[in-house]
Amino acid sequence: MPVDEQSDSVYERAGFGAAVPRGSRPALVVVDLTRGFTEPDFPTGADLTAEVTAAASLVAEARRHGFPVIYTAIAYTPAEADGDSVAWLRKAPGMRALREGSDAVALDPRLDRRDGDHLVVKKGASAFHGTALAALLSGLDADTVLVCGATTSGCVRATAVDAVQSGFDTLVVREACGDRAQRPHDAALFDLQAKYADVVALDDALAYLEETADRRTLTQPALADLGDVPATSRWVTSGPVRLHVLDYGPADGVPVLVLPGITSPAVTMDFVARGLTDLVRPLVLDVRGRGLSDDAPDPSHGYDLASYAADVDAVVEGLGLRDPILLGHSMGARIAARAAVTGRLSLRGTVLVDPPLSGPGRGPYPTTLDAFLGQLGQARRGTDADEVARSWPRWPRREQELRARWLSSCSRAAITATHAGFESEDFFDDWPKVPAPTFFLYGGASPVVTAAGAAEAAERNPSAEFAEVPDAGHMVFWDRPDEGLAALREALGKLLS
């Protein structure tokens, strides 16, 4: 962006050009990339192929991480286009061609608008003027707005200025903004950078979306949930990773180390732990990358079964747990199996609940990564029990509320790497070697452990005892709390006898 050095020094002396804070809840506003602006065959347009391509990459990245995408378009009714009621059209009569329903106001076909995206139709330069955009952004709990589109000197500039005036920190993405001529484009970006927004490179904007997507968050209401949990927080280190454990006591009880699933912080298994305290001493681990535990120092290698099993070893040793029982659900069941076969621990037994049976040469894990990340994106934008209920309608209300408040504490990298592990690490490499006594609980309606899968598991480890929880899906305890807990208590009772 060409900058006159004298102008630059004058602006610097005046105290302009400070860096804009970047929040944790961005939204992308794509301004007026409609055919009337992006195609040179329209009188109001120019060839904005490069800018549309850049904007499309922003849209794809925002959508991949679950951040809101908002398109804007100028469109006039016949009365507005042909009449004298819109002052702007008296100054810029060429804009009268932007009529409702015409090709000129259609979104550029190179952009992929989907049902979950928003569209704001406007009559003026700013996407905020006379629209509900500010209310929409507030409703989406956005704190930072990324702006791109056309034209830089007109609608992009007006929208960026009004974004700041509406209370949002604002970034303008240079390569994704276009104009009909270079000089007004450069002048607008210079002024925006000086007074209103950070003008950033496309790579910077993409990196910001990526980094922000894996920024784990916990709200005050989530932390307050711990006040209702009858457990003591314990801390253990596994290498450089600090691990949090909820210890339900009693201190002289047989320890049962509970290992939750891929998107389940420890607190979400509180209702299971409470139902066991008369039998055993439940201790529920915040698996690394979830809840209050640290992230892996190297996300590319720190979320495999070996790393998770090493954490189990560290918890058992660090808390002095003698001959514990390992109880794992889903991902946690895989971790329990791996920890049991390493031979490093003296265990009273294991209980594996609906472990993912996917792996190399097998079918994919039934829940896609996009589904997990979509739910994570909802949580980081701010979700509630009603929205959670649309994905998990059978769960008790309290469990829906806890998921709404605690899912945002899960690391995107942890979810992504663990999901990949469901298909690259074979459960059946460990399962035949899991020593007795071991119990295998599964949901009768689970898509993760099918009837065929349960039969293979029984064949591969004949010493294991199996129990089906009728009508339960993969989330056994959540789908059928009473029946799931009864089956678990029966298994634990046998391990204690």
Return d(Cα 437, Cα 8) in angstroms, integer: 74
List, edge to edge, every strand of the sheet that includes 169-178.
Answer: 118-122, 69-74, 26-31, 144-150, 169-178, 198-200
Please give the residue that has the higher pLDDT: either 232 or 382: 232
Which H or E run includes 113? none
Specify the pLDDT at position 214. Answer: 75
Q: Which residue has the tokens 């007006």?
A: 158
Nearest Cα to Cα of residue 474 among 286, 271, 277, 263? 263
Q: Quick check: helix, strand or coil at residue 165?
A: helix
Spatial distance between the Cα atoms of 150 and 455, rounded to a whole number of angstroms: 60
Whether 14 shows a pLDDT value over 80: the answer reads no
Backbone φ and ψ for 79, nearest 5 degrees, come out as -65, -40
Which residues have CB under 8 Å from 366's CB, separation 6+? Answer: 447, 448, 474
> Does residue 2 surpass a pLDDT of 60?
no
Give residue 141's pLDDT: 85
Alpha carbon distance 95, 188 (integer Å): 20
Query: Residue 188 and residue 152: Cα distance in Å, rounded?
Result: 6
Q: What number of helices (H) and strands (E) belong to the chain?
A: 21, 14
> In the chain, pLDDT over 70 holds for what percent of residues?
98
Q: How far from chain centre, in Å, is Cα 356?
A: 21
Domain boundaries, the chain: 18-213, 220-496
Query: How does pLDDT run across 314-358, given as a tens digit for each residue?
Result: 999 999 999 999 999 999 999 999 999 999 999 999 999 999 999
Average pLDDT for residues 75-99, to the nearest whole number?
94
How big is the chain, counted in residues? 497
For residue range 191-204, what is the model confidence (pLDDT) as tens digits?
A: 999 999 999 999 99
Q: Is the pLDDT of residue 465 over 70?
A: yes
Angle at CA of residue 244, ends 238 and 250, nearest 5°: 115
Strand pairing report for 232-238 and 241-247? antiparallel
Per CATH, domain 220-496 is 3.40.250.10: no
Selecting among 148, 155, 177, 410, the annotated active-site residue is 155
Q: In terms of Cα–Cα distance, which of 399, 390, 421, 472 is closest to 287?
A: 421
The CATH code for residues 18-213 is 3.40.50.850
pLDDT of residue 7: 62
155 is catalytic: yes
Judge whether 197 and 147 are in contact, CB under 8 Å. yes
User: Would you state the pLDDT for residue 8?
Assistant: 67
Residues 284-312: b if buried by 16+ CB within 10 A, e if exposed = bbbbbbbbbbbbbeebeebbbbebbbbbb
- Evaluate if residue 29 carries a pLDDT over 60: yes
Q: What is the pLDDT of residues 120-168, one digit of tens each?
A: 999 999 999 999 999 999 998 899 999 999 999 999 999 999 999 999 9
Q: Report which DSSP code applies to 169.
A: E
Mean per-residue pLDDT, 236-243: 98
Whether 429 has a pLDDT exceeding 70, the answer reads yes
